[in-house]
Amino acid sequence: MKRVLIVDDDLITRKTASYILTKEGYFVEAVESGNRALQKLSDEYYDLILLDIEMPVMNGFETLRYIRNNPATKDVRVAFLTGDSTQESVIQAANLNASGYIVKPFIPENLIARVQEILAGA
């Protein structure tokens, strides 16, 4: 069973994405901040991290930098799940070796399809 960590300060997004992916057979955990995500990653392995950009304290870009700079987590697939669709953010995500970019609000079928593609390495 593939393990997914959702990192988003918005409770509704965490619950909705968790429900959709759990129903598809994924093991899903969700946290509200980049700091909590880094704590989880120190103890747990995930096949995919879905990461919001706009979060208080530590934004998604900062969180991804920490993940990529840690030898234990540098190869984990990380996709942004965000309402930020600006070209600058998409480019910054690519420069940080993000595995994908999913814009909110999402359609459940599209979220599932993108997660499957990212996990398959597409």
pLDDT tens-place values along the chain, 122 residues long: 999 999 999 999 999 999 999 999 999 999 999 999 999 999 999 999 999 999 999 999 999 999 999 999 999 999 999 999 999 999 999 999 999 999 999 999 999 999 999 999 85
The pLDDT value recorded for residue 122 is: 54
Q: Which domains does the chain have, with CATH numbers?
A: 3-119 (3.40.50.2300)
**Does pTM surpass 0.75?**
yes
Three-state SS annotation for the chain: CCEEEEECCCHHHHHHHHHHHHHCCCEEEEECCHHHHHHHHHHCCCCEEEECCCCCCCCHHHHHHHHHHCCCCCCCEEEEEECCCCHHHHHHHHHCCCCEEEECCCCHHHHHHHHHHHHCCC
pLDDT of residue 121: 85
